[in-house]
Amino acid sequence: MQKNLTIKELPDTERPYEKCLLYGAGSLSDAELISVIIRTGSRGERCVDLAHRILNAGPDGLLNLIRLDTEQLTGIRGIGPVKAVQLKCIGELARRIAVTQRKKQISLQSPESIASYFMEKMRHERKEQLMLAMFDSKGMLLGERLLSVGTSNAALISAKDIYRAALQEQAVYIVILHNHPSGNPEPSREDILITRKIRECGELLDILLMDHIIIGDNEYFSFCEQDILYEKGRE
C-alpha cells in the first residue's frame, strides 16, 4: 500500500515550499497554502489533494477553516486532531490579522469603522453574541467585552451587565453590537425596544449609548445611521 506522500516527495514543480521561495506566498493556490500547514496527505493521496478536500468540505472554501469546528474537520478522511487544531489556529490567526488592521481605523463618529472592526469577530458565529465596545471622552476605544452568548437566534441582553462593565472601564460612551447568524442584520422589534431601554439606563448613569450595531454576513445595521436610536419610528 502506498505510504503518505510528504511535500518533499513531490516533484520540484509541485512543491509549495520551493514555489513560495521562488515566487512568493502569493503565487500559491489556496490548496497549496493549506498543504504547507498540514504537510502530509492521507494514504495514497498527496497533501495538496487532501487540502482540496478540506476546501470542498463545506460551501465556504477557505472560510471552512473558521466555520467548521474541530469535530467536523476530523470527520474529513486524513484529518486527525493535530491537523484539525493546526487548521483552526490558522483560521483564527487570519481573523486576528484582519481585526488588528481595522482597529487603528475605529472612530466613534463612524459606525462603518466600528462594524468593520467587529465584522470578522462576529459574522461567522452560529449563535448570537452580545459585544460591548467602550470609549473614553475623546472617542478612543478603551476596550471590548463579550457579555453574552445566546441561542441560535437570541442574545441575552442585560442592561445591568452592560453598565457594570462600562463603569469598570470608566467609559464615557458605549456601543453595543450583536450578530444575526442568519446573515440578515435587519433589527427585530425586540431589538429596537431593548436598545431604547439600554439607552435610557445609560442616561441615568451619564454613560451614553452611541449606537447599536447588528452584524450580518458582510453587512451591518447601525441604529445611529438609521436615526432610530432616539426616534420612535419602526416600532
pLDDT digits (tens, 9 = 90+) for 103-137: 777 888 899 999 999 998 898 888 899 999 999 99
9-21 confidence digits (pLDDT tens): 555 556 788 888 8
Q: What is the pLDDT averaged over residues 64-72?
A: 89
Return all residues near 87 (Cβ < 8 A) that are at least 6 apart: 34, 37, 38, 54, 65, 73, 79
- pLDDT at residue 58 above 90? no
Clarify whether residues 16 and 95 are in a common domain: yes
Averaged pLDDT, 64-74: 90
How far, in Å, CA of 103 to CA of 99, rounded? Answer: 6
Kindly report, residue by residue over 130-188, the tens digit of the pLDDT: 999 999 999 888 999 999 988 655 566 788 899 999 999 999 999 999 999 999 999 99
The SS3 of residue 183 is: coil
Beta carbons within 8 Å of 183's beta carbon, 6+ residues apart: 123, 216, 217, 219
| Same-domain check for residues 212 and 116 | yes
SS3 at position 131: strand
Does residue 16 share a domain with residue 56? yes
Are 139 and 178 within one domain? Answer: yes
Instruction: Provide the number of structural domains found in the chain.
Output: 2
The overall longest dimension of the chain from CA atoms, in Å, is 73
CATH (domain of 185) = 3.40.140.10
Domain hosting 119: range is 105-222
74 with 43, same domain? yes
